[in-house]
Amino acid sequence: MDAIVLLRSQHRDVEKLFKAVDKGDLSVVPEICAALEEHARIEEDVFYPAVRDEVPDEMSTVLESLEEHLIVKRLVSELQGMDPDDDAYEAKATVLAENVRHHVREEEDELFPAVRSTLGRKRLAELAELMQRDAVRA
Ligand SMILES: [Fe+2]
């Protein structure tokens, strides 16, 4: 495993679920919320701290990502506390999709390539290991 491969595969999983939302299927929203909570947690606990310490040029991208996580987490917790029949439920899910798609693009276009070229294969494997352990602990 490799930290970036792991994070990208989580991005693909959540994108697939958002496609269902695009088609009006809101039954997947709880699954999306759970997946995003998990994804944000392993990024915040393991990946971002490593990037801050070891890829200092990407510090500002990490800070931006953390701000985006705050918005995503707020939307997730609002959706989790809402009745799916509420008029605002679909609107909130759509705004969540837009935010997450932006976040994914930014990470995959800017952050991940810079991290990959700086950290190297061995360190990325170590980070994947730490992230998987972090996920189990939850
Ligand atoms: Fe991410």
Question: If one looks up domain 3-137 in CATH, what number appears?
Answer: 1.20.120
Domain residues of the chain, as ranges? Answer: 3-137
- Rounded distance from Cα 35 to ligand 1 centre (Å): 11
| pLDDT for res 135 | 77
DSSP 3-state of 22: helix
Query: pLDDT digit string (tens) for 55-72?
Result: 999 999 999 999 999 999
- Rounded distance from Cα 112 to ligand 1 centre (Å): 10
- Rounded distance from Cα 104 to ligand 1 centre (Å): 6
- Rounded distance from Cα 6 to ligand 1 centre (Å): 10
- Rounded distance from Cα 81 to ligand 1 centre (Å): 23
- Rounded distance from Cα 27 to ligand 1 centre (Å): 23
- State the pLDDT confidence band at 134, using cuts at 50, 70 and 90: confident
Q: Do the beta carbons of residue 96 and residue 76 sit within 8 Å?
A: yes
What's 25-88 look like in SS3?
A: CHHHHHHHHHHHHHHHHHHHHHHHHHHHHHCHHHHHHHHHHHHHHHHHHHHHHHHHCCCCCCHH
CA distance readout (Å), 28 to 13, 67, 91, 105:
12, 25, 14, 22
pTM for the model stands at: 0.93
Q: Does position 138 have pLDDT exceeding 90, yes or no?
A: no
- Rounded distance from Cα 118 to ligand 1 centre (Å): 18
